[in-house]
Amino acid sequence: MYAQLVDTGGKSVKRLDEMGAEERAFQERVDAGVKIEAKDWMPDNYRKTLIRQISQHAHSEIVGQLPEGNWVTRAPTLKRKSILLAKIQDEAGHGLYLYSAAETLGISRDEMLAALHSGKAKYSSIFNYPTLTWADIGAIGWLVDGSAIINQIPLCRCSYGPYARAMVRVCKEESFHARQGYDIMMAMCNGTPEQKAMAQDALNRWWWPALMMFGPSDAESVNSVQSAAWRIKLFSNDELRQRMVDQSVPQAEFLGLTVPDPDLRWNEETQKYDFGAIDWEEFTNVVRGNGPCNKERLRTRVKAYDDGAWFRDALVAHADKKNAATQLVA
């Protein structure tokens, strides 16, 4: 998802009777649905895993601004431009809530940014695809933010208090994103044949990467079992992906668009859609840094940070000067 392939640092999940007193008390609190707060005792790997997961989530929000930023100056109307700007501003806000949540676990903002900028930290694979036409902005809101919502709603109930609270804020704002995207898609699909073709093209290109956002099947993964035991992952990747397919297919039908999957069909028995195989090689490639835009995204992000250094420094200098002046008066 926004955090993909998060390592939990263990080879197997401990049973209660294998744990020390502190860890057992911790696990029992988690099992009872009690939130863990920043200053509570927690296993080292829980802390590390959450730092990885939350910082990756934060990085995704920040880098996720870039594909959409590509269309701010070329939005078709002032209204669409204002809406897009508001959405991108929300993404920055989401990144900030999440960085703050991660910081409560004892990592600094600067450490996280350094890890992103050096390429050491990951962000979601989805943001390494290009936004070629205006319809892509519609498809992103509809499918990418749609997938994000499916992933984030359960996280509002996760065991770590600061993360859960950040997710509540994010989810409240996220449905605006999905709706503005679908609204763009509706406008395109009710427009000229060329506009509708553009919408279809966007769906063709974003469908599979959106399904890949949930990550490969983790039914067999130790990381996933551990994260589930810690209640920082509440559903498997496959369950969430199935939910996405089931909700999106009727939405595509309403638009009069075709989902680019010849194997897609309704299964009467399961009351769910069966869908075709995902190209995990493509996913692995993008995660490893070889997607269409990985290098450009990181370069743009680092440049924005470096170009803003003088301004951040000036704010600090101003604050220091004011501080010194107040101390003189005192």
Q: What residues line the site for other proteins (CB under 8 A)?
A: 37, 39-41, 86, 89-90, 93, 96-97, 100, 103, 108-110, 165-166, 169, 173, 312-313, 315-319, 322-323
Nearer to other proteins, 10 or 93 (CB): 93
Q: How far is the CB of 43 from other proteins (least distance, A)?
A: 15
Q: How far is the CB of 304 from other proteins (least distance, A)?
A: 17
Q: How far is the CB of 202 from other proteins (least distance, A)?
A: 27
Nearer to other proteins, 41 or 266 (CB): 41
Nearer to other proteins, 277 or 309 (CB): 309
CB 137 within 8 A of CB 68: yes
For residue 56, the tally of other CB atoms under 10 A from its CB is: 24
Q: Under DSSP, is residue 46 helix (H, G, I), strand (E, B) or coil? A: helix
Nearer to other proteins, 78 or 309 (CB): 309
Q: How far is the CB of 316 from other proteins (least distance, A)?
A: 5
Nearer to other proteins, 7 or 173 (CB): 173
Beta strand extents in the chain (DSSP E only): 265-267, 272-274
Residue 197 and residue 64: Cα distance in Å, rounded?
25
E strand or H helix at 142, and its extent? none
Q: How far is the CB of 322 from other proteins (least distance, A)?
A: 7
Nearer to other proteins, 95 or 181 (CB): 95
CB 211 within 8 A of CB 245: yes
Place of tokens 């297919």: 249
Q: How far is the CB of 102 from other proteins (least distance, A)?
A: 11
Q: Under DSSP, is residue 104 helix (H, G, I), strand (E, B) or coil? A: coil
Q: Under DSSP, is residue 93 helix (H, G, I), strand (E, B) or coil? A: helix
For residue 130, the tally of other CB atoms under 10 A from its CB is: 14
Q: Under DSSP, is residue 305 helix (H, G, I), strand (E, B) or coil? A: helix
Residue 58 and residue 71: Cα distance in Å, rounded?
22
